[in-house]
Chains A and B, each alone.
Chain A
Amino acid sequence: MKIKIMYIGVFVLLFGGVITLMANDESPDRKLIGKWEEVMWKYEKLDSSEEGPFDSFHINDQLKQEISLELVIHKAETWEIRPDGALLLHKKDGSSEELHWRLKGRGHVLKLFGHGDSLEHYQIQKLTEDTMEIHFNSDLQARGIIKMIFKKSKNQTHASKIQQ
């Protein structure tokens, strides 16, 4: 009898621990909802850098356009991530494009689709209330990881919370 109680106790303790951990935090698919403004594009490896080796992560606007030519997020400035799985890419010229998003793994891979046959996967490196950092592995001219940093639009955060 004692051993049974011990086994049940350990089982409850383990699952209780997991549930407590998950209940204390928001799921990544809820954290992701909102309007994200692109703040910075960084590149892990550039072919050449005039600023010296320590500045090789920075990227100019022209190079960014060239690199992003093949990507769905081409020329996007603001990402509006909606709870229904839609993603609106608001571009500089005022136009917008609709894509779809899904989270994979433990919520660390962002899958974008709906742009023809194109399918892109981004690693979510950091996702907090107001910051999102995603990485894209590229074999394009600059080679390496593209690092994109977004800040959550304050008004949109409030609006989307009301919507939910």
Chain B
Amino acid sequence: MLRKFSNSRTLSDNIKLGSLTAFSAGMVNVVSVMLFFAFTSNVTGHYAVLAEEIAKGNWYQAGVVAAWIMLFFFGGFTSNCIIVHFNKNYTYLSHAVPVILEILCLLVVGTYVQFYYAETLLETEWLVGLMLYAMGLQNGLTASISNSAVKTTHLTGLTTDLGMLFSMFTKKEYRENAQLRGKLKIQLSIMVSYLSGGITAGYIYMTIAYNVFYIVCLFLLIVIGYDYYKLKYYELVNRRERKSKRNYYRYVAVKNKKKILEKA
């Protein structure tokens, strides 16, 4: 999921990455609405609220919403900054660091809410801000490494794209186009995962409360861990292949040497 970059990614890579990250984004969004009464993964609504607060002259609230939008922006900025600077030499690491940062943000929010949250407005504003930064990190990462094929917190664009795709599929030539069918698969999986994440979070929140944050972190750890495991696995396979090749050449060399000696 995280090992490959841009056009070298397969459809399966993008579906796996999209599903898991969209599931976690759906969970984060629903839990933040239930706990803080603020959305954390759809920024379009925040722009509308910002405009409304400015029009009403509520400068404090306008400032808060502007800060939230900026934190989402900085999340995307951080992700892509890490990728563009380190992708060449440390592909996996540069893709894993934004996910690690996201996990850290969500762990801070989860732990704070569980042990220290006194429900003051200032705390709510900071915690929502941190979650928006985490979502910005995730959206920036998935969009960047998949060449914008996977945007897990951007359901407005996704729903528009789905509408367009379904209208295109009314023509046979588009239905048979493998690229378009792949796109449909990715987007449907993101949509279903986002929704199931939200439903799961709502259910978990009502039963085991704040632990939902730790479950989101677990999902993100699977994203990192899966690729780490694959990398280690391929490394092991490569090492074995190299070793067997080396042994083979050594064997051939010894055999040739014997032949030469015999001839001599």
Contact = CB atoms under 8 A, between A and B. Distances in A.
Interface of A: 14-15, 17-22, 24-29, 102-109, 111, 121, 126-127
Contacts, number: 67
B38 A105 contact: yes
B48 to A, nearest CB: 13
A25 B59 contact: yes
Contact of B124 (A14, A17, A22, A104): A104
Of listed B59, B62, B63, residue having the most chain A CB within 10 A: B63
Contact of B66 (A21, A25, A107, A109): A21
A22 B60 CA distance: 4
Contacts of A127: 58
A106 B66 contact: no
Nearest to A101: B119
Nearest to A21: B63
A18 B121 contact: no
B60 A18 contact: no
B61 interface: yes
The range of chain B's interface size is 20 to 34
Nearest to A20: B63
Nearest to B33: A105
A112 to B, nearest CB: 12
Interface string B53-69: 10010111111111100
A22 B120 contact: no
21 contacts: A14-B70, A15-B70, A18-B66, A19-B63, A21-B60, A22-B60, A24-B59, A24-B60, A25-B59, A26-B60, A27-B121, A28-B60, A29-B121, A102-B121, A104-B119, A104-B124, A105-B37, A105-B128, A106-B38, A106-B65, A107-B64
A106 B125 contact: yes
Contacts of B121: 27-29, 102-104, 107
A111 B37 CA distance: 10
Contacts of A107: 60-61, 64, 121
A105 B61 CA distance: 10
Interface string B28-49: 0000000011100000000001
B60 A25 contact: yes
A19 to B, nearest CB: 7
Interface in B1-52: 36-38, 49
A137 B12 CA distance: 45
Contacts of B120: 29, 102
A81 B125 CA distance: 21
Given A18-B70, A24-B59, A106 B64 contact: yes
Contacts of A109: 37
Given A106-B49, A107-B60, A121-B37, A18 B67 contact: yes
A17 B50 CA distance: 14
Contacts of A104: 36-38, 119, 121, 124
A159 to B, nearest CB: 23
A105 B63 contact: no
A102 B64 contact: no
Contacts of B65: 106
A18 B34 CA distance: 26
Given A25-B60, A107-B121, A108-B61, 15 more contacts: A14-B70, A15-B70, A18-B63, A18-B67, A19-B63, A20-B63, A22-B64, A25-B59, A26-B60, A27-B121, A102-B119, A103-B121, A104-B36, A106-B64, A126-B56
